[in-house]
Amino acid sequence: MISAAPEFRFGPYPMSATTLAKTSLDQLKEFTTVVADTGDFESIRKYAPQDATTNPTLIYKAVQQPEYKHLLDKAVSDNKSGSLANGALWKKIIDDLLVGFGQEILKIVPGRVSTEVDARLSFDTEATIRKARELIALYESRGIVRERVLIKIASTWEGANAAAVCEKEGIHCNLTLMFSLPQAVACAEAGVTLISPFVGRIYDYYKATTGKEFSGADDPGVQSVRKIYAYYKKFGYHTQVMGASFRNLGEITELAGCDLLTISPDLLEKLQGTSDTITRKLDPEASRNADISRISNDEKTFRWLLNEDPMATDKLADGIRRFAGDIVKLEGIIASAL
């Protein structure tokens, strides 16, 4: 006869051997809201994140896969007989496609989906506001409340100002392509819901320019997010910090305790496949005593401080170009479909 597995007791509560062997992903979820950084529905189902984020690159890759082609086909067929032509038609189809992906993702996650504004509007405040309103209206026309959607906007000065208007209208925003504290300050002062500082792209820059490898707490991308997190908690901002764009597990584990982390499927799989101990590294109470000076939030200061940071200047411009390029590629696929 096989005897039952022994129980491990800590205080009055029984704990089984399987409870002790939590995956690293399960442990991370105790400190941080985990978000899936993908347009792949099956990956989202597999790792059960709270939220999901998309961007033009992810959608461009997804629509080239057979299992998602029906979403593109639907967006094209729904608009084919309309009065719009060429550029205006392509933009409308892309909006429908983005919202179509978001709608399907929201059937899987219990929380929110982030949908990105065309990166070519990154320096146009009014056009960004109009596009955010159009995307929210599309979601609402499909029965999805705006509280479940985050509109992703590049964290330029114009983007932060557009987000300030949107937030007052109940359109919640995720300010992306963030590489510096001045960008984070502008977004917090705008009252945005969420920011997405890019850890991995900062790492890429310093690795390329110095020839050095960085790991753990020495990773400049990790250090950037820690500084932003501490600044927000010290000065009482309600804007949440969501670390993004990771290159390895070390960057993720060093940011355990961050409000949210958006993680690609390959790294989610690695976290799911290990039971290495995850300890909390970021804590709001500890951050309130951080030795950080307040930064002025005005356009001249923003532009000067960004200009004085070659990494942030380079990566912001590069990120906008890349996302804009993938929107152009999407337009090419749509033109062919039409």
Q: Identify the CATH number of the domain in which residue 162 sits.
A: 3.20.20.70
| E strand or H helix that includes residue 261 | strand 260-263
What tokens appear for 71 in the block? 């979403």
Residues ≥6 apart with Cβ < 8 Å to 3: none
Catalytic residue among 91, 92, 152, 233: 152
Measured distance CA(71)–CA(75) in Å, rounded: 6
The structure tokens listed for 12 are: 């009055």
Q: Is residue 9 part of a domain?
A: no
Question: Directed axis angle between helix 181-189 and helix 299-307, to 10°?
Answer: 160
pLDDT at residue number 155: 98
Check if 152 is active-site: yes
Token pair listed for 114: 């982030």
Is 16 part of a structural domain of the chain?
no
Q: What is the pLDDT of residues 170-191, one digit of tens each?
A: 999 999 999 999 999 999 999 9
**Cβ 115 vs Cβ 98: under 8 Å:** yes
Separation CA 334–CA 73 (nearest Å): 9
In a domain, 2, yes or no: no
Instruction: Please choose, from the candidates 131, 114, 255, 263, the residue with its C-alpha nearest in 3D space to the C-alpha of residue 193.
Output: 114
Residue 45 domain flag: yes
Whole-angstrom Cα distance, residue 210 to residue 11?
51
Determine, yes or no, domain membership for 90. Answer: yes
Cα distance from N-terminal residue to C-terminal residue, the chain: 69
* Planar angle of CA 215, 40, 78, nearest 5 degrees: 140
Indicate whether 138 belongs to any domain: yes
Domain region containing 31: 22-337
User: CA 142, 324, 330 angle in degrees (round to 5)?
Assistant: 55
What CA–CA distance (Å, rounded) separates 115 from 154?
12
* CA–CA dist 313, 23 (Å, integer): 38
Q: What is the DSSP string of 291-308?
A: -------SHHHHHHHHHT
Question: Rounded to whole angstroms, how far apart are CA atoms 262 and 260?
Answer: 7
Count structural domains, the chain: 1
Q: What pLDDT, on a 0 to 100 scale, did the predictor assign at position 20?
A: 57
Flag residues of the chain having pLDDT under 50: 1-19
Residue 233 lies in a domain: yes
User: pTM score > 0.75 for this model?
Assistant: yes
Asked, for residue 119, whether it belongs to a domain, the answer is yes
What DSSP string runs through 190-259? TT-SEEEEBHHHHHHHHHHHH-----GGG-HHHHHHHHHHHHHHHTT---EEEEB--SSHHHHHTTTTSS
CB 136 within 8 A of CB 146: yes
